[in-house]
Copies of this chain bind each other. A is one copy, B any other.
Amino acid sequence: MKHADIKYTNQRVEILDFLGDFQGHPTVEDVYEGVRQKLTRISKATVYNNLKFLAEKGLIKEVNVKGVSRFESNLMPHHHTICIKCGEIKDYESEQLSDLTMEVAENIDDFTIRSADVNFLGVCKKCMEE
């Protein structure tokens, strides 16, 4: 599902590839370090601009944790568990919850829905044992 109105520059292609391969929810810094392996001269501003751009175009998703942006290429409806101690994010899926969320979203008055984010905040197992 390529979008006709998007310029596929080397930088964008590499960023999308990196996100596709990455297991998890990388920060801008992570993406920058990763993409730099191939495009050694890419600037961090370009990574910032493109992640923002791609998220606006709907090709990737942004997740904000404690004021820091993270990204993922998984566009399927799903939720996140976020550890408030270590910041770890994991995908969590409940079809029933996804369905109800979208149903509710589509019926909100005076509001054109773009996405519905469900984040479970708590403490992960590892942090709990400490």
Contacts and interface: CB of A to CB of B under 8 A. Distances in A.
Contacts of A117: 117-121
B121 A112 contact: no
Interface residues of A, number: 34
B121 A115 contact: yes
A64 interface: yes
A42 interface: no
A77 to B, nearest CB: 13
B114 A116 contact: no
Contact of A64 (B64, B84, B101, B108): B64
The A interface, classified by DSSP as helix, strand, loop or mixed, is strand
Interface stretch (A9-17, A18-26, A31-39, A92-100): A92-100
Interface in A62-101: 64, 66-69, 81, 83-84, 92, 94, 96-97, 100-101
Given A68-B67, A100-B96, A121 B114 contact: yes
A125 interface: yes
Contact of A123 (B81, B112, B120): B112
Contacts of A119: 116-117, 119
